[in-house]
A and B are shown apart, each in its own frame.
Chain A
């Protein structure tokens, strides 16, 4: 599994002329890779995990993916992970992506790890490894510092420690199985640090739906059903939490990116929040206008996996329903099985100006890379 299978697809002139910024590219952190960056006693744990057979996103105690369905091996010879900086830059070049922000693979499940001190040291080790081995060049490869939800004070320390790193461009909040949700006031120190440093906050889930997720999603028999809902529900659950505690007014400098849930849920959910605000304003009195007015200033939504309606024009309609031209950002999710090639997102029939914003301009502004 060493080939990307990307090289044969020609990039269009239109794509090559755009500045493409990708807010969701995964880097594969293994126990063996992180062990040298991890303090004792937890290094011993990683060395032990490294000695076990590795299963992608399925290493107990490291990537505790509790899937409960049989797999039909897809028999794809395509590489599903990125394991070296040179390989990564080559993939991005093949995809026509100029700037990418790296977030984890295994630690998509970081919030599901139970032992607090261990989880905190894993986050520190990941951030050391990311900056020490992946973000050493000025080649458009950026990273998001992993903020462990287990202790928001440590999360704030990590954010501040790396904020001035030239290639740290964002903060990553693992969303799978997080409890409590990210609007809880215990996270205020984390948002203090986000606001102080100006780094945008990227939320990203997985298809984990248990042990902690509402609405009995754990009862699904298939990855198909879990994946259909895990990502958008996770984004909605955390967005509602962030809104209900007033994060957008208490931390007006914090900007959020909601990833891997496509776009069509966004107009539905913003309209839903706005409607409930009208009838329940007393519960959220820190707002003097509809939530969507505030969210317009601080939320971004990434494209992947872009929905595939028979009428491509519907995608432009969905974006127009939340006036999202300035809030939609491209993401590929490379190298995952459901990645989007930039050419796919570029099928959205919007103006050249709007497309340039979606494919890169909005993200450049968000990341402060103008």
Chain B
């Protein structure tokens, strides 16, 4: 069994994502503005298939936005298809549960393909 899955870069343009399997683990792979990220396909809430959800932005409000609903993080947020919990792909942080998030799996660009490893770091 190989320790990584291969995704041709041509199949993962900016804004795209897919789910691969590595050693029995489902891993979501994302291209956010040319950077690649890999996250477990498991939501911390009810174990829903997070990475099969849509990638979008999100709504924020703070003193900086004068407490107005403001669209932010376009292209950085993946939304679980079960209950709509949001995660920032670039940090793994769950927007709904601060302090809880998901680790990034290791990704390596090798030529014209992306290697997705079944381990973090």
Contact = CB atoms under 8 A, between A and B. Distances in A.
A68 to B, nearest CB: 16
Contact of A343 (B47, B54, B79): B47
Q: How large is the interface on A (under 10, 10 to 19, 20 to 34, 35 or more residues)?
A: 10 to 19
A227 to B, nearest CB: 13
Contacts of A5: 48-49, 52, 81-82
Interface in B30-83: 41, 46-49, 52-54, 56, 59, 79-83
Interface string A342-362: 011000000000000000000
A337 B26 contact: no
Contact of B83 (A75, A337, A343): A337
A75 B79 contact: yes
Contact of A76 (B26, B47, B84): B84
A78 B79 CA distance: 11
Contacts of B49: 5, 8-9
A77 B52 contact: yes
Contacts of A149: none
Contacts of A344: 46
A76 B79 contact: yes
A75 B41 CA distance: 17
**Which secondary structure dominates chain B's binding surface?**
loop
Contact of A77 (B41, B48, B54, B59): B54
B84 A337 contact: yes
Given A5-B52, A8-B41, A72-B59, A77 B81 contact: yes
Contact of B46 (A72, A75, A337, A343): A343
Nearest to B79: A75
A343 B45 CA distance: 11
Contact of B53 (A9, A77, A337, A339): A77
A22 interface: no
A8 B49 CA distance: 7
A8 B46 contact: no
Contacts of A77: 52-54, 81
Nearest to B58: A72
A142 interface: no
A53 interface: no
A76 B54 contact: yes
A156 B84 CA distance: 40
Contacts of B56: 75
Contacts of B79: 74-76
A26 interface: no
A75 B48 CA distance: 15
B84 A74 contact: yes
Nearest to A341: B46
B47 A75 contact: no
Interface string A328-348: 000000000111110110000
Interface string A308-346: 000000000000000000000000000001111101100
Contacts of B81: 5, 76-78
A189 to B, nearest CB: 40
Nearest to B43: A9
A78 B82 contact: yes
Contacts of B52: 5, 8, 77
Contacts of A9: 47-49
A188 to B, nearest CB: 41
Contacts of B54: 75-77
B53 to A, nearest CB: 6
Interface in A76-95: 76-78
Interface in B1-52: 26, 41, 46-49, 52
A9 B50 CA distance: 11
Contacts of B53: 75-78
30 contacts: A5-B48, A5-B52, A5-B82, A8-B26, A8-B41, A8-B49, A9-B47, A9-B48, A9-B49, A72-B59, A74-B84, A75-B53, A75-B56, A75-B79, A76-B53, A76-B54, A76-B79, A76-B80, A76-B81, A77-B53, A77-B54, A77-B81, A78-B81, A337-B83, A338-B83, A339-B83, A341-B46, A341-B48, A343-B46, A343-B47
Interface of B: 26, 41, 46-49, 52-54, 56, 59, 79-84
Given A75-B53, A341-B82, 10 more contacts: A8-B26, A9-B49, A74-B84, A76-B54, A76-B84, A78-B82, A338-B83, A339-B82, A341-B46, A341-B48
Give me the 9 closest cross-chain CB pairs, A-B, nearest first: A75-B54, A78-B81, A74-B84, A5-B81, A76-B81, A75-B56, A8-B49, A341-B46, A344-B46
